[in-house]
A and B are shown apart, each in its own frame.
Chain A
Amino acid sequence: MLNFAMRRILMSILVAITVSIIAFFLVRVSGDVAIALAGEEASAEDISEIREIYGLDRPIIIQYVDWLGKAVQGDFGESLFFPETVWELVATRLPTTLRLALAGLVISLLIGIPFGVIAALRPNSWIDRLSMTIAVAGQAIPTFWMALMLMVLFGLMLGWTPISGDESWQHFILPAVTLGYYSTPPIMRLTRSGMLEVLSADYIRTAYAKGLHPAPVLFKHALRNAVIPVVALASVQFGHMLSGAIVIESVFAMQGIGYLAWESILRKDIAVIQTILLVVCLFYVFLTVLSDLLNAWLDPRIRVS
């Protein structure tokens, strides 16, 4: 188990470094950072001065090594655009994104698991088809569009929720529903297939044969086993939500790291982009490792393989 965990963690570090290298060079090849910082009307003199002030005139490899060297010591540098350090910026914005992602995950579990169970109990019935329709729609509808539709309906026409911002829990309702709905289908489908498999297992048949009431059979014996892979999937979905927050936070004007990432990409604020990518990547890697370990712990066959 320890070897397994070490292998996964080592692999994760390599993934994080690779992502940071790719991101760094992609930002640099997409145009001159100094021009983006100076603004469209900047003169060549302004741009040259900014290039010098921020050390953007140095070779790109040196800039990357310099950034990496400081980053491993916990110094993520200063934003090229904001007066704060990168870490201050990210630390200020991260709680909003985590709250949003967590709320989204709860919503997707609250929708996905019950519908998955019901669909499995009545396979090929109208409720199963309805669940499948919801699942397909959730995957097919772009989150951007979904967000605006919800905003128009509940924020503008009905006036039940705030339209944008992140100042109260009510502000999180529409963004969390949007984000959660997108993650619902895989949870719903995995719950359904897991339940179908478990419900046909011998021990369930035995439980019924012993005369147990259907509710304990369903919830105590069947669901507990069927949702094991769902728990692992949910941790990965949480990672998806962190990256999905870029669109959602921009649409709802929420001050999370997703919105910060969007702003920084637009302005080529490379130190901020790098740090956000690293943070999201580390979260994702951590959650993936957690999911692997959880699976391995729950299912000894994975450890052996």
Chain B
Amino acid sequence: MKLLKRTLFAALGLAMTASPALAGKDDDTLVWITTFEPPTYNYYDQTLREGTILSRHLWDSLFWRDLDTGEYVPHLATKIEFADPKTIDITLREGVTFHNGEKFDADDVVFTLTMVNDPENKMANRNPVRWISKAEKTGEYSVRLTLDKIFAPAIEYLSTSVVMYPNEYYQEVGKDGYGRAPVGTGPYKAAEVVPGKRLVMEKNENYFGGGKGQANIGKVVMRFIPEANTQIAELLSGNADLIWRLSKEQGEKLSSRSGVNVVAGETMRVGYLQFDSAGSAGETPLTNVKVRQAISYAIDRKAILDNLMGGGQVIDLACYPTQFGCESPDAPKYAYDPAKAKALLAEAGYPNGFEIDFYAYRNRDFAEAMMGFMNQVGIKASLQWMKYSALRDKVRADEVPFNFMTWGSGSVNDIANITAYFFDGRADDLALDAEVKALLDAGGATIDPAERLKNYREALRLIAERAHWLPLFSYAYFYAMSEDLDFQTTPDEIVHLYRAKWK
């Protein structure tokens, strides 16, 4: 297989000697190739990343998290305020229209939130609005949201993943009809949907701007090709302007090509080692904190990052650095130190190491590198390679003592979607640390930022000190694009094409 890959790269390298005919700028059309087509263009009825990306282009949220500053700024709403921790009052922007000319008002907000939240409608992506128990109209341009319990990242959700549908149009065309011809308020409108082939989006000339601002490029064509090498061939032939999610090897090959720019874009996805500290999967050496610390010292995360990932950064806390609450200056850090790892193992009663099953589902090369590092201090890890769904199943069934997995936080820039998720005492929590859980619960039970930060800071310190998790590094995706294109990557794993422009 390696030989095949090498030959293929050699052939692609040969092909790279042909001069490119990168197009796009002349006709102001950006062609972006990605792997999957969403099964429907009804955003709330699918769970693909591509669908999430489209949600930022065809639709709008009430507020907007500024991608450069991280601040929440007015967007479809001009004001969002908490009447009390479980009641949110929203004032909507006037004068906004949907792509079909329908006026945006409180009815649209109430309809969208109520319709998506109704289990009878069987929407596949209900998660963004599940925390809202009631939405009611309080005026033509004002809405009140009522929550059953405090939801700390409410503003983050209302500024990213909660987008608004036009009530009249949706009711007219129905769930499936809307999925074939979506209408929103976003910076781009769907001009042509050819299932399985492409989605053509045209710039919304009547866009209100808001926090996102006007789109720069007139037309965006989204094409779907599953095979990365085919995507590369299309880029090199000039039929595409942007491709993404390339491997380090592919990115490096392409970077030597004139006419093509390659960038490694860091993402919010974090790789981690999760230890069964509580011993739910049976008694193993990992229930001993010194063993977990030893493993944390034994693995050279920086070496893996530099040699295998080619981008991203080493992560020391159980969250992504930009997420709200992801700070804990007193938390211990585990720099690569095999001697210390050996000493800790000896102290724990394992001077000659031990054998353990090690579960993983992606980046086999990363997993094998980690096994090599563990082997150097005497720990013989036996790799159990599985599909994601099978491994997640096994973790939740308390059958996994030690795993390497990743988490992207659903692009939510708040610790609630990662740390609080993995240490909340439910199925994905292998630590079952009551003290950590209490701190995270306290952080999630208030909307006071200072109070939240205080609790999260201590929780993160305890997680690191007790080595329940070894956060490894953030992931990087390689993007390759036409040299004519000015495109900036963002860590939320979302391709914000309305920000792209021609050089």
Chain A positions near chain B (C-beta within 8 angstroms)? 30-33, 35-46, 49-50, 53, 79, 81-83, 142, 144-145, 148-149, 151-153, 155-157, 159, 163-165, 167, 250-253, 255, 259, 262-263, 268
Closest B residue to A46 by CB, please name it: B127
CB distance from A164 to the nearest CB of B (A): 5
Chain B positions near chain A (C-beta within 8 angstroms)? 4, 7-8, 11-12, 14-15, 18, 36, 39-40, 42, 45, 47-48, 119, 122, 124, 126-127, 130, 175-176, 179, 195-197, 224-227, 229-230, 233-234, 236-237, 239, 386-393, 396, 407-410, 421, 426-428
Residue contact A268 to B389, C-beta cutoff 8 Å: yes
Q: How far is the CA of A159 from the CA of B21 in the complex (A)?
A: 11
Count: A-B pairs, CB below 8 Å: 123
Residue contact B234 to A41, C-beta cutoff 8 Å: no
- Chain B residues contacting A45 (CB-CB under 8 Å) are 130
Residue contact B227 to A156, C-beta cutoff 8 Å: no
Residue contact B124 to A50, C-beta cutoff 8 Å: yes
Residue contact B409 to A167, C-beta cutoff 8 Å: no
Which of A33, A151, A255 is within 8 Å of B230, CB to CB? A151
CB distance from A201 to the nearest CB of B (A): 44
Which of B8, B127, B195 is within 8 Å of A148, CB to CB? B8
Residue contact B421 to A43, C-beta cutoff 8 Å: yes
- Chain B residues contacting A255 (CB-CB under 8 Å) are 195-197
Known A32-B389, A253-B226; judge A152-B130 contact (CB<8 A): no
- Chain B residues contacting A79 (CB-CB under 8 Å) are 39
Residue contact A142 to B176, C-beta cutoff 8 Å: no
Given contact pairs A32-B392, A45-B130, a sample of 17 additional A-B residue pairs in the complex whose CB atoms are under 8 Å apart:
A30-B387, A31-B389, A31-B390, A37-B124, A39-B47, A40-B388, A41-B407, A44-B427, A53-B122, A82-B39, A83-B40, A83-B42, A83-B175, A151-B230, A156-B233, A167-B197, A255-B195
Which of B7, B11, B36, B389 is within 8 Å of A35, CB to CB? B389
- Chain A residues contacting B119 (CB-CB under 8 Å) are 49, 53
Q: How far is the CA of A259 from the CA of B392 in the complex (A)?
A: 26
Which of B227, B234, B386, B421 is within 8 Å of A251, CB to CB? B227
Which of B18, B392, B396 is within 8 Å of A156, CB to CB? B18
Residue contact A38 to B393, C-beta cutoff 8 Å: no
Q: How far is the CA of A153 from the CA of B226 in the complex (A)?
A: 20
Closest B residue to A145 by CB, please name it: B4
Closest A residue to B411 by CB, please name it: A41
Q: How far is the CA of A259 from the CA of B124 in the complex (A)?
A: 23
- Chain B residues contacting A49 (CB-CB under 8 Å) are 119, 126
